[in-house]
Structure 1
Amino acid sequence: MVIPVHDVNPARTTPWVTYGLIAANVLVFLAMPGTVGVPGQSRLAQTCELHAFLDHYAAVPRELIHDQLPRLVPTGDVAVGPQGPGCVIGEPGYDKSPVLSVFTAMFLHGGWLHLLGNMLFLLIFGNNIEDRMGHVRYLLFYVVCGYAAGYGFALLNDDSGDPLIGASGAVAGVLGAYLVLYPKARVWVLVPFLIFLPLRLPAWLVLGFWFALQAVYSSGEGVSDAGTVAYAAHVVGFVAGMLLAWPLKPGTPPPPEPRGLLFGRRARPRETW
Structure 2
Amino acid sequence: MFPLADINRPSRPPVVVKLLVGLNALAFVLELLLPTEAVIRAFGFVPRAFWADPVGEAYTILTSMFLHGGVAHILGNMWFLWVFGDNVEDRMGPGRFLLFYLAGGAVAAVAQALVTPLSPVPMIGASGAVSAVLGAYYVLFPRAQIVTLVWFVLPFTFLLPAGFYLGYWAFLQLIEGLLGVPGIAFWAHLGGFLWGVFLARRFVPRWPRWRRW
Q: Same fold (TM over 0.5)?
A: yes
- Aligned match for 2:189, one of 200, 212, 234: 234
Unpaired runs of at least 5, structure 2: 209-213
| Count of matched residue pairs | 208
Q: Distance in 2 between matches of 1:27 and 1:219?
A: 34
Q: Distance in 1 between matches of 2:28 and 2:142?
A: 32
Q: Percent identity?
A: 40
Asked if 1:105 is matched to 2:64, the reply is: yes
Query: Is contact 1:181–1:252 with CA below 8 Å preserved after alignment?
Result: no
Partner of 1:29: 28
SS at match of 2:4: strand
Q: Alpha-carbon deviation of 1:239?
A: 0.3
- Aligned match for 1:55, one of 22, 28, 41: 41
Unpaired runs of at least 5, structure 1: 37-45, 69-95, 254-273
Q: Alpha-carbon deviation of 1:251?
A: 7.1
SS at match of 1:158: coil
- Aligned match for 1:244, one of 183, 199, 211: 199
Q: Distance in 2 between matches of 1:135 and 1:247?
A: 14
Runs of 4+ in 1 over 6 A off after TM superposition: 248-253
TM-score under structure 1 length normalisation: 0.72
Q: Alpha-carbon deviation of 1:51?
A: 2.2
1:16 partner amino acid: V
Q: Alpha-carbon deviation of 1:97?
A: 3.4
2:187 partner amino acid: A
Residue by residue, what CA displacement relative to the aligned partner does 1:49-98 show, whole Å, maximum 9, x if unpaired? Answer: 32221111111001222218xxxxxxxxxxxxxxxxxxxxxxxxxxx931
Residue by residue, what CA displacement relative to the aligned partner does 1:128-181 show, whole Å, maximum 9, x if unpaired? Answer: 010000000000000000000001101111111100000000000000000000
Query: Is contact 1:64–1:98 with CA below 8 Å preserved after alignment?
Result: yes
2:39 partner amino acid: F
Alignment of 1:108-257 (within 5 A): 108-220=67-179, 226-247=181-202
Structure with the greater alpha carbon radius of gyration: 1
Q: Distance in 2 between matches of 1:239 and 1:61?
A: 20
Q: Distance in 2 between matches of 1:51 and 1:247?
A: 38
Q: CA RMSD in A?
A: 2.1
Higher relative contact order (CA 8 A, sep 6+): 2
Query: Is contact 1:179–1:242 with CA below 8 Å preserved after alignment?
Result: yes
- Structure with greater proportional strand content: 1
Query: Is contact 2:174–2:187 with CA below 8 Å preserved after alignment?
Result: yes
- Structure with greater proportional helix content: 2
